[in-house]
Chains A and B, each alone.
Chain A
Amino acid sequence: MMHRRKVLSLGISAGVASALLPTRARSADDEQTGFRIIDTNISLFRWPFRRLPLDDPDALVKKLRSLGIAQAWAGSFEGILHRDIAGVNQRLADACRNRAELIPVGSINPELPDWEHDLRNCTEEHNMPGIRLHPNYHGYTLDDPRFSRVVELASSAGRFIQIAAAMEDTRTQQALVQVPDVNLAPLVKLMRVMPGARVQILNHNLRPPLLLQLGETPGVFFDTSRVDGTDGVPQLVHSVPPGRVLFGSHAPFLIPEAALIRVHESGVLDEASLRTVLSENAGQLFGNTAV
């Protein structure tokens, strides 16, 4: 079970991001921004194909603290290729329990028999606020009935769903494990029949027209982790309705400083917009998550 203090902090109403945050001394960066930063996209443990400098949870948390990141939503790299998903999620929950900044986001693989059991474990045993999916590594598409069933069950349990559109640039993948990016187009149609579902797309590199179609789709959110170009994040923010873009770093696979700098480097986003991306929009995705 999640630590009680953390559980209480997660029982929030939509848009009330400050209540979502664990108690922590304010850092120099808090003082600089005037708000506390939420990273909606990190992962714990070992990337399957190389050691990463921050793949130790303590080292990662130390780095996040040094950057002024008050809370980070953590999936597990193990969830990409492991088939014992219950074990994956147990280790994730254990790692997050005594690290106040970390919120566990469990992995679900609907290709595996009895994946519903893993989902129940996430919601009932570990009290996780959301789940993370890797459709490309797990071998299904977003028009697969099993995917819509995952969205339906998770949403009815009040959980958000994160879809990792990619984990790395396809051009740099291990030659024997080539995995195309997730085709996100079916999500537009699916979300129309899933009112109340909240889905965040991670690690994407979306372009119009699909970006605009997804932006017009209620319940779809975006992270910033692989949105590149000096004004790429402001362009994304201005391309979709307010409240849809959430800061995500994809650390420790990517260097967390990179994502933080990209949000503000162009000077295009004003203070209010920076606050929503770096902090408040996370509360919109969290919604009335009943944990």
Chain B
Amino acid sequence: MNPADMQLGLPSPEQLKGYRIWDSYFTPAWSHPGADGSSGLLTDIERSLPAIRKGQFEKLCYFPHVGTGTTNDAAYEALARSRPEVILKPVERWPDLLLGMIQLNAHNVPASLDAINRWLRDGPMLGVYFPGGGPGAMTCTHSNFSPLVERVAELNGVIMQHTWFKTGGKQGPGESTPSELAELSARYPQQKFVCAHGGGEWERGIRAVRSSPNILVETSGFDATAGFIEMAVRDIGAERIIFGSHLPSRSLGTELGKVIGADISERDKKLILGENFRNLLRPSVKAAEHTPRGRE
């Protein structure tokens, strides 16, 4: 037995390939990419490659810090603004594997608008991510979100919001709950939003976004608790669920296991593991094809 060939707990490689897995939530070097802007990222991506290969992933979407103040490192923030080319190193090294959405800091609206123009309008990033912790975290019902959401919507970008319902309360004042995302999404019914982590405590999270048809639920970031996917498919439909791996801080087992181990149809697994995310990205990719610089 070659450990690299072991498939314990997994479908066959052919079946995994058939799912056409697109990972919407890849988190290498999550809080900081490394002092040079990329070394930590590259190391963590390499660390994830065995699992990526074993899972037969086609694409993974990561979330670079682009100098809007989403890290606590002033030197890095300055570097990201003055030498944006360092941000592109991962996508240059793995152009066929990686997609990106930039992290935004809603506390700094001008810098975030500049970043949206620089990275979405001009490419190659496909959307934005609003964090739940760190200096960039702000509750998504704040009025600062309006100009940012409106600009992303103009560019047909994807909006992903970190969400958790934590027993005992928020980890910080800037964290957002699925209920707060539902409130934001109601103001922009034509814009799609992604409820990252399904709220963590997913029994409440799914309920909170159930009546918000423009919210999709992302699956990563908590233990592989049984019943999550089944409840989500029952309450919001498989078309509103997108897979995330949270690699490498979480694992292929925890995150892919939620979907492949769920008691749902193969068709629904295929939607969740890739098709829905591709559909969500389609307007963004299409818009990019009409920009001067284009996007990958």
A and B: bona fide binding partners: yes
CB pair A228–B3 under 8 Å, yes or no, is: no
Pick from B6, B168, B250: contact of A264, CB under 8 Å = B6
Q: Can you list, as one digit per residue, whether each of A253-291 has a CB less than 8 Å from chain B (1) or not (0)?
A: 111111111111111111100100010000000000000
- State whether the Cβ of A54 lies closer than 8 Å to any Cβ in chain B: yes
CB pair B8–A267 under 8 Å, yes or no, is: no
Residue among B3, B9, B203, B250 facing the most chain A CB atoms (10 A cut-off): B9
- State whether the Cβ of A171 lies closer than 8 Å to any Cβ in chain B: yes
CA–CA, A256 to B254, complex, Å?
Answer: 9
For B, the interface residue count at a CB cutoff of 8 angstroms equals 44
Residues of B within 8 A of A149 (CB): none
Residues of A within 8 A of B164 (CB): 171
CB pair B3–A255 under 8 Å, yes or no, is: no
CB pair B226–A171 under 8 Å, yes or no, is: no
- State whether the Cβ of A175 lies closer than 8 Å to any Cβ in chain B: yes
Given contacts A257-B257, A261-B9, contact A269 B248 (CB under 8 A): no
CA–CA, A265 to B263, complex, Å?
Answer: 23
Q: Can you list, as one digit per residue, whether each of B160-177 has a CB less than 8 Å from chain A (1) or not (0)?
A: 000010111000000000
Q: Say how far A230's CB is from chain B's closest CB, in angstroms.
A: 4
Total A-B contacts with CB atoms under 8 angstroms apart: 150
- State whether the Cβ of A29 lies closer than 8 Å to any Cβ in chain B: yes
- State whether the Cβ of A231 lies closer than 8 Å to any Cβ in chain B: yes
Residues of A within 8 A of B166 (CB): 171
Nearest chain A residue, comparing its CB with the CB of B6: A264
CB pair B50–A266 under 8 Å, yes or no, is: yes
- Report, as a range, how many residues of chain A touch the other chain: 35 or more
Pick from A169, A171, A230, A258: contact of B9, CB under 8 Å = A258
Given contacts A67-B8, A228-B254, A258-B254, contact A34 B1 (CB under 8 A): yes
Residues of A within 8 A of B260 (CB): 257
Residues of A within 8 A of B54 (CB): 265, 267
CA–CA, A278 to B9, complex, Å?
Answer: 13
CB pair A178–B249 under 8 Å, yes or no, is: no
Pick from B4, B226, B251: contact of A52, CB under 8 Å = B226
CA–CA, A278 to B3, complex, Å?
Answer: 13
Q: Say how far B257's CB is from chain A's closest CB, in angstroms.
A: 3
Q: Say how far B249's CB is from chain A's closest CB, in angstroms.
A: 6
- State whether the Cβ of A173 lies closer than 8 Å to any Cβ in chain B: yes
Interface residues of B in 165-215 (CB under 8 A from A): 166-168, 200-201, 203
Chain B interface residues toward A at CB < 8 A: 1-4, 6-10, 47-48, 50-51, 54-55, 164, 166-168, 200-201, 203, 222-227, 230, 247-254, 256-258, 260-263
